[in-house]
Chains A and B, each alone.
Chain A
Amino acid sequence: MTRHTEPGATVISPRRLIQQNAVRKLSTWIANPWGRPRFLALITWAYILVSIAPVIVAIQFSFNDGRSVTSWQGFNLTRWYWGDPDHSVWHNPALQHTLLQSLKLAGLDILIATPLGVLLALGLARWRGFAANASNFIMLFPLVTPELVMGLALSLVFLHVFTFIEPSTTAQVLGHVTFSLSYVVIIVRGRLFSIGRQYEEAAADLGATPAQALRLVVLPLLLPAILASMMMVFAISIDDFVISQWLSCGASCDTVPIRIYSATRTSSFPSINALAAIMVFLTLSAFGAAYLVQRLMTRGERKSRRGMAKGMFDL
């Protein structure tokens, strides 16, 4: 293909140009297949795969046609969920009870920890002085305390001090809330700091009393953080094993993690996998729902630069 070019210029057809570019890209890749971004990308994707694959496999086995949790015997959608008359989740009252117990604890945890935590966050964010600093310190402590220590401490306190509380659902809820409170405070307080005082001052300037300012300006602006902390509390509570176990009253207080724990070292049915899969599904749906609601609510202010992950871990 001829072109009219300046005298002396080399004539190259478009197809040749593309070929040359491709060769150049390939040769760069070959020369350095461990080019840094590529190597890191490999590690990252490999990690994600290894992290998620076992869970996928476990969920896969909840659809196993046979009793094994290690040998695949064919696909059966419903056997372990509601098909099998003895062992499926639907027909096994013990398994159902653990699911309900987990949800009950999570629900009560959210109900109690969220308002308590929001108030605590507001208070700690603006309170000054020695007592305030001491309270802040106390609030941070549960975050760095191993659950074992907390579980043991709570057992002891219900045994020797608050003897009117037996190991029971009540005790479990009390333990869960104690553990979750700090997370709510961190999340809500982080959001409060990024909002700043300007909107409340504007509200007061325009004639809003302090109560009105809190109700009409602060609370709506905190709503995304409140929602996020509810999600956090849900996840913590659903996932909790140690505190629930130490404060458990026996089989009727068992939660899903406790059930799974006792099932892992004994030969178990895929119904356990099904139970766990149901749990994962519920958690992810709750998370998805909360995310959507939050997107809906903050459509007016998509400006916040700090992501949720960053906000969570600022102590």
Chain B
Amino acid sequence: MYPRWLWPVFAAPGVVWLILLFLVPFYAVISVAFGGVDPIFQNPVPSWNPLDWDYTAMGKTLTGFLPGNQYWAVFLRTASYVALALSGSLLIGYPAAYYISRHARRTKAILLVLLILPFWVSYMMRMLAWVNLFSPAGYINKFLVWSHLVTTPPDWLNGNPASVILALIYGYVPYLILPLLASLDRIDRSVLDAARDLGASPIEAFLHVTLPLSKPGILGASVIIALPMFGDYYTPNIISGSPSTSMLGNQIDIFFHGGSQPGVGAALTLILSAFLAVLMAYYMITIAKAQKEYPA
């Protein structure tokens, strides 16, 4: 019906754009990470030819991640923050998504709108709101003191890891709930009815049918928020000014903008990307396996 060449021609502008402004920049990162340093100005010099790559600088940065070395603590901290924030988000997000998908009938439309609302409010605005609430004279502390739960108002915004994790949860849950909801909606209701019909109690039906079937959705939604979280540097900066809660993103930010060693910043970015690529690969393999078991 259509000439065969039409579709590549349509796709060409977009693909060219992505190559120039996505693939090439990525290669630039690699080239800087494996590049040299200008002896006079101490600037990093990218080395475009893979044959000229200098592996010593990268090697030094990599060894920094070994236990005991300078990046080990940051990496551990980042991983634990993300893990905790992810778990917290799932603990809140899954029940909410489950309720909206399965039980809310008349209120479903309203709930969806309310759910999407934080999505449209800028992340920074929500962090601003959060900080205002948790500031020393903010409403949270006022309430805690008034209700006599504490005697002195706690300092939430100064090097407090719990605050950072809570803020991460608050910030990222909306991005988790929507894809989770979408995948829960896709579960065929009649499968659950069949389980009940065959004698499963509501809890058994949930554990043996709903939960396994929502695994791909949970995994997908987790990837959607975990990956950006690994690169988050602004949330720790806003919530806690202290380097004791700095994440990997902060390290990269410091190295690059602090002016000291942008090359190390590039190297760290590469390592981060490689790590995330591994996570991504794990996700895709799991999905591929799941597709074979339950062809959608």
Contact = CB atoms under 8 A, between A and B. Distances in A.
Task: Assess A/B contact in the complex (Cβ within 8 A).
Answer: yes
Interface of A: 36-37, 39-41, 43-44, 47-48, 50-52, 54-55, 57-58, 61, 68-71, 116-117, 119-120, 122-127, 131-132, 135, 138-139, 141-142, 144-150, 152-157, 160-161, 174-175, 177-178, 181, 185, 200-201, 204, 210, 213, 235, 238-239, 241-242, 256-257, 260-261, 263-265, 272-273, 276, 279-280, 283-284, 287, 307, 309-310, 312-313
Interface residues of B, number: 96
A123 B173 contact: no
Contacts of A120: 10-11, 13-15
Given A39-B95, A40-B95, A177-B17, 14 more contacts: A40-B103, A52-B114, A55-B121, A126-B7, A127-B8, A146-B272, A149-B273, A153-B29, A155-B256, A160-B46, A235-B120, A239-B122, A283-B121, A310-B185
A287 B130 CA distance: 24
B128 A272 contact: yes
B123 A144 contact: no
Contacts of A40: 95-96, 98-99, 103
Nearest to A273: B128
A204 B14 contact: no
B187 interface: no
B103 A41 contact: yes
B1 interface: yes
B170 interface: yes
B17 A210 contact: no
A178 B13 CA distance: 12
B1 A201 contact: yes
B221 to A, nearest CB: 9
Given A44-B99, A71-B137, A58 B125 contact: yes
A280 B25 contact: no
Contacts of A177: 17, 21
B135 A152 contact: no
A126 B11 CA distance: 10
Contacts of A161: 24-25, 28
B10 A135 contact: no
Interface stretch (B49-57, B62-70, B189-197, B222-230): B222-230
Contacts of B233: 148
A309 B178 contact: yes
A30 to B, nearest CB: 20
A183 to B, nearest CB: 12
Interface of B: 1-3, 6-15, 17-19, 21-26, 28-29, 31-32, 46, 92-93, 95-96, 98-100, 103-104, 111-112, 114-133, 135, 137-139, 170, 173-174, 178-179, 181-183, 185-186, 202, 220, 223, 227-228, 230-234, 237-238, 241, 249, 252-253, 256, 265-266, 269, 272-273, 276, 280
B99 A156 contact: no
A77 to B, nearest CB: 20
Nearest to B230: A146
Contact of B118 (A55, A200, A204): A55
A235 B139 contact: no
A263 B202 CA distance: 50
Contacts of A152: 29, 252, 256, 265-266, 269
B277 to A, nearest CB: 9
Given A116-B17, A201-B1, A210-B2, A37 B103 contact: yes
Which 7 interchain pairs have the tightest Cβ spacing?
A: A123-B11, A146-B231, A120-B14, A123-B10, A148-B231, A153-B25, A58-B129
Contacts of B182: 307, 309-310, 312-313
Contacts of B133: 54, 57
Nearest to A309: B182
B181 A309 contact: yes
Contacts of A239: 122-124
A131 to B, nearest CB: 7
A70 B139 contact: yes
Nearest to B127: A264
A238 B29 CA distance: 27
Contacts of A138: 15, 18-19, 22-23
Nearest to A275: B125
Q: Which of A44, A175, A204, A257 has the most CB of B within 10 A?
A: A44
B220 to A, nearest CB: 7
A140 to B, nearest CB: 10
A174 B253 CA distance: 21
8 contacts: A70-B135, A120-B14, A146-B228, A153-B28, A157-B28, A160-B32, A239-B124, A257-B125
Contacts of B6: 126, 210
Contacts of B125: 55, 58, 257, 260, 276, 279-280
Given A51-B173, A139-B18, A265-B241, A153 B128 contact: no
A43 B238 contact: no
Contacts of B31: 160
